[in-house]
A and B are shown apart, each in its own frame.
Chain A
Amino acid sequence: MMRKVYSNIDQIVGNVITVKADDVKYGELAEVKSSHGTSLAEVIRLASEEVSLQVFSGGRGISTGDEVRFLGRSMQVSFSENLLGRIFTGGGQPRDNGPALSENMIEIGGPSVNPAKRIIPRNMIRTGIPMIDVFNSLVESQKLPIFSVSGEPYNALLARIAMQAEVDIIILGGCGLKYDDYLYFKDTLEEGGALSRTIFFVHTAADPIVECLQVPDLCLAVAENFGLQGKRVLVLLTDMTNFSDALKEIAITMEQVPSNRGYPGDLYSQLASRYEKAVDFEGAGSVTILAVTTMPGDDVTHPVPDNTGYITEGQFYLRNSRIEPFGSLSRLKQLVNDKTRDDHRALMDGMIKLYAQFKETLEKKAMGFRMSDWDTKLLKYGERFEHDLMDLSVNVPLEEALDIGWEILSDCFDRQETGLRTELLDKFWPAPD
């Protein structure tokens, strides 16, 4: 059917334009043709014949006489194997030099999974990063944020996970990504040979803010469909604080009453509807989400990390370029770390307890107290632990990481000082050289 074209824009406020039109559906897409090109726009409010649309490329440069053509459908994305290795914008357009895809279009932001169809997660995703595999195992269908301060190498961490994680498909969503970081991801994955199993949806900081809002939905719609086809998909999102800020910007433009520090009252629901897309489909694949959430001012009570913490199943804290062992928590690790190796759980607990003692010793040292023999041992241990396991550049399989753990313990302590059970010590304590 030929759709009508409207060319009388009544109102332009921020990124939202209002036109008089009929037979428009809520959530429908339109094309706005201005002298700067054509942009998509989405219907976000209907009041009698007045239709408010959120213009993806922003309101700047739109004239009251520009043409608005309704497409009779809501936001969609093409879904097929052809997506692999490709890079798209937040509007779903190619960012690389490849062709635009239009086959097998699927809706984004679809309905939620029926809780009765969910299953208890049971598979671990190995990443080769000991601080994750050993101490806070990532579990298929888990949703975990990486809480981080702006300066931390969270994107480097994500890139490493993208290269090393044992999954079928990686989908990387960039929200407000710096262009340099985008290139870094692209180059790193290309060099590492992981690009062919990766799909990018990238909104850079220079792109229109409305496109930022689409990124998680695009990633998750594609991930969900691969999941249904039996693929194990890992979705990496960076940075969800930018996404939340985009929500805030739109909400304020729409004159919504802000709730906390300017964020809209539905921030929790908005974030949850994305994170809850993480799922393990019984008899098919799974979707796992790792999402960077930068904490403004290192404040975990800021509305974005705070709401995120209530939604996700634990969190990784990235501090001083390391995944901090104390605040970090994978709530689901107990479901998988009993099936790896006998010593996994005990070593995990034992090493962290000793590391906590090391931290106390460090404090004592800083205050000028005399160091006992035990303190000296702890200092040696802490240093070895940080260098051999915590450092983000360490890339070893889980079993090797556990062996390294035993090695560190035996280099620093006597058997009984470790607080580990005798049977484990008999089995795993390294023989003296």
Chain B
Amino acid sequence: MMAGKQGKVTGITGNMITAEYTGDVMMNEVGYVYVGEKKLKSEVIRIRGKHAELQVFEQTKGIGIGDKVEFSSELLAVDLGPGLLGQIFDGLQNPLPELAAKCGFFLERGVYMNPLPEELAFEFTPVAKKGDAVRRADILGTVQEGIFTHRIMVPFGLYETYTVEKIADKKKYSVRDVIAELKDPKGNIIPATMVFSWPVKRPIDAYAERKKPAEPLITKVRIVDTLVPVARGGTYCIPGPFGAGKTVLQQITSRHADVDVVIITACGERAGEVVETLREFPELIDPRTGKSLMERTIIICNTSSMPVAAREASVYTGVTIAEYYRQMGLNVLLLADSTSRWAQAMREMSGRLEEIPGEEAFPAYLESVIASFYERAGIVKLYDGTEGSVTIGGTVSPAGGNFEEPVTQGTLKVVGSFHGLSRERSDARRFPAIHPLDSWSKYKGPVNAGKVAFVRDILFRGNEVNQMMKVVGEEGTSLEDFVLYLKSEFIDAVYLQQNAFDPVDAATGAERQRYVFDVLLMIMVTHFSISANDDARNFINSLRQKFLDWNGAEWKSDKFKKIEHELRAMVYEKAHETKENIDDRLKSLFDDTAVLIQE
């Protein structure tokens, strides 16, 4: 690069500096502030006259007036290429384990490392041939990255049609070696390596068509899949007060969700929680691939004590890498924990810029920024006809657990599914603490909608009875209402709640969910011969115990079948009617009764 445009520092407040520059400066351009030997990465966030204001991604201690600023003429970007999977980056894509090896316990400022270093090498298999005409995102060749075939593509930033002049033979190359030469229409030769960079704040748009998310994404969390499903390529949010289990829910999802690649963006949260993922994932085996979970996971980690401006960048780093893997025809899940910390980072910056504040001092553009972030999710048809998707799930940490705050509200407007965690449920140790009645989803789930509506209705009415009982007491409630209440509690206990620490119960696949849900329905429609409240409670309790044992039995194992048999026997024995009566009622209520009615 040329000597580069330069400037000098004229003001500093917090992590924002003002620099006087000469020549031209681009908005959101990356600049470096020189402090002694070190240069600190920063980003231009406002330009006024001959002064540019930059947010510094590091601590600003020690910067003085007149210190040199160098502008790079490039936007904040990430390196994309094979070798990203399994890595742990900070918000600016510096590999943290490598930083630790170099600097020790502490994060030293001004130390930047290559996310995809020279030493990294892959066996390259060419796909394009000499003379081929290629466009951006067309496949030049492939490499095997762990369990995936990684497409080496024409860099997305090349907008013309190019002729392949040279393509490397099948051999092992460093990721930084030139593997192809492309000739543009003017005859210039452009060398291509396995790695190229892309600005994080621009969505990757190298696809033929964006499609409507229709397929459910199975998270194996029953309450989510059945009641408030998530779609492949869709978006969802998890707001909740502290201690309600947001992070645990995200961790469970990152382990079990039916996707190819998971990107975890730990944004301004506790370092301790990331450590669990960091230390445990390499040990955990992905049931689908038989390989370590880490091989399909990327962690972007900018915890609460790391510089706040890099926190703002971290969600963009995460989503850009997600979009890149989508371009391989893979299904990617991006988990952002927590988007509130990201919004707060924006608020801090906005305050330093002395912008006119909106609600709770968040900047006026908060909602549009949140919206455009979630809009980067989607399912797309790529140029070669294959499909890839990015699903985004973000947690929100509302102040005081009150959902009427700008970040929650701004998020609810744009997401397709809302998983609201409630303090009431978490205090009662009902996990996952997603509120079954307040939460909603606009997507189609794996379980028949009519059946779900039936159960939702029982939950709703059971809750009403419960509210009423608080006033009139158990004595003042009719037996019928009381049984309804017990049934709603039963659904909660055996289906909505899930034991994250039980190896079997922790993850319930779609097929099992449909199956178990049908048995649950059968219990719900059955009329029992019950004499009094205590009788009802005892019966439902024993049924609950049996059902919970069933939840702990391996799917389709002998134990599973045995317990199911016992469970059904318990129901028919206590039923006030014959099995035929029950079956007839089921037939009249639901269209799909294959499992419901068994001989």
Contact = CB atoms under 8 A, between A and B. Distances in A.
A268 B99 contact: no
Contact of B306 (A46, A112, A118, A265): A112
Contacts of B108: 111
A329 interface: yes
A301 B402 contact: yes
A313 to B, nearest CB: 6
Nearest to A107: B61
Q: Classify chain B: how many residues form its interface, as a range.
A: 35 or more
Interface residues of A, number: 59
Given A46-B64, A259-B360, A313 B271 contact: no
A117 B88 contact: no
B90 to A, nearest CB: 8
Interface in B546-593: none
Contacts of A23: 64-65
A111 B109 CA distance: 8
Interface stretch (B69-77, B344-352, B511-519): B344-352
A114 B61 contact: no
B400 A306 contact: yes
Contacts of B276: 120
B100 interface: yes
B351 A310 contact: no
Contacts of B275: 115, 118-120
Given A116-B278, A117-B105, A119-B279, A276 B243 contact: no
A49, A259, A332 — most chain B CB neighbours (10 Å): A259
A266 B96 contact: no
B270 interface: yes
A390 B14 CA distance: 46
Contact of B271 (A27, A48, A276): A276
A273 B62 CA distance: 19
B65 A46 contact: yes
A265 B361 contact: yes
A303 B399 CA distance: 7
Interface string B463-487: 0000000000000000000000000
B127 interface: no
Contact of A48 (B13, B65, B241): B65
Contacts of B18: 47
A121 interface: yes
B270 A276 contact: yes
B347 A265 contact: yes
Given A259-B360, A269-B348, A47 B64 contact: no
Contact of A49 (B65, B88, B241, B351): B65
Contact of B12 (A45, A228, A311): A45
Nearest to B241: A309
Contacts of B96: 114-116
Contacts of B242: 306, 309-310
Interface string B351-375: 1001001001110000000000000
Interface in A118-153: 118-121, 141
Contact of A114 (B60, B100, B270, B399): B100
A52 to B, nearest CB: 9
A260 interface: yes
Given A111-B107, A115-B301, A24 B65 contact: yes
A272 B106 contact: no
B425 to A, nearest CB: 15
Contacts of A228: 105
A49, A259, A265, A275 — most chain B CB neighbours (10 Å): A265
Given A26-B62, A112-B106, A269-B304, A121 B272 contact: yes
Interface string B297-315: 0000101111010000000
A262 to B, nearest CB: 11
B402 A25 contact: no
B62 A257 contact: no
A332 B276 CA distance: 11
A114 B305 CA distance: 10
Given A46-B11, A301-B402, A309-B242, A114 B361 contact: no
Contacts of B278: 115-116, 118
Interface in B192-222: none
B4 interface: no
Contact of A113 (B107, B241, B348, B361): B107
Given A24-B64, A26-B61, A272-B304, A266 B274 contact: no
Interface in B85-103: 88, 96-97, 99-100, 103
A79 interface: no
A320 interface: no
A26 B12 contact: yes
A114 B304 contact: no
Contact of A266 (B100, B308, B357): B308
A404 B70 CA distance: 68
B308 A258 contact: no
A301 B399 contact: yes
B104 interface: yes
A26 B308 contact: no
A397 interface: no
Contacts of B533: none
A115 B242 CA distance: 21
Interface in B304-344: 304-306, 308, 341, 344
Interface in A236-291: 256-260, 264-266, 268-269, 272-273, 275-277, 281
A22 B65 CA distance: 8
A74 interface: yes
A266 B348 contact: yes
A111 B12 contact: no
Nearest to A24: B64
B304 A256 contact: no
Contact of B243 (A257, A258, A329, A332): A329
B581 to A, nearest CB: 38
A110 interface: yes
B401 interface: yes
A93 B12 CA distance: 29
B99, B270, B272, B306 — most chain A CB neighbours (10 Å): B272
B10 interface: yes
Contacts of A309: 241-243
Nearest to A268: B344
A23 B62 CA distance: 11
B59 interface: yes
B62, B105, B351 — most chain A CB neighbours (10 Å): B105
B397 interface: yes
Nearest to A254: B13
Nearest to A52: B13
B344 A301 contact: no
B206 to A, nearest CB: 32
Given A46-B11, A114-B99, A115-B96, A273 B400 contact: no
Nearest to B305: A276
Contacts of A311: 270, 304
Interface in A140-194: 141
Contacts of A257: 351, 354, 357, 361
30 contacts: A23-B65, A25-B62, A26-B12, A26-B63, A45-B12, A45-B13, A46-B63, A47-B10, A49-B65, A109-B61, A111-B108, A112-B271, A114-B100, A114-B104, A115-B88, A115-B96, A115-B274, A115-B301, A120-B275, A257-B354, A257-B361, A258-B361, A265-B344, A269-B308, A272-B268, A276-B303, A277-B305, A306-B399, A307-B399, A313-B272
7 smallest CB-CB distances across A and B, nearest first, come from: A301-B400, A272-B304, A276-B305, A27-B61, A259-B361, A309-B242, A116-B96
Given A119-B275, A301-B400, 14 more contacts: A26-B60, A45-B13, A47-B18, A74-B62, A111-B109, A114-B103, A114-B105, A264-B351, A268-B304, A269-B308, A272-B268, A273-B304, A281-B105, A313-B270
Interface of B: 9-14, 18, 59-65, 88, 96-97, 99-100, 103-109, 241-243, 268, 270-272, 274-276, 278-279, 301, 303-306, 308, 341, 344, 347-348, 351, 354, 357, 360-362, 397, 399-402, 427
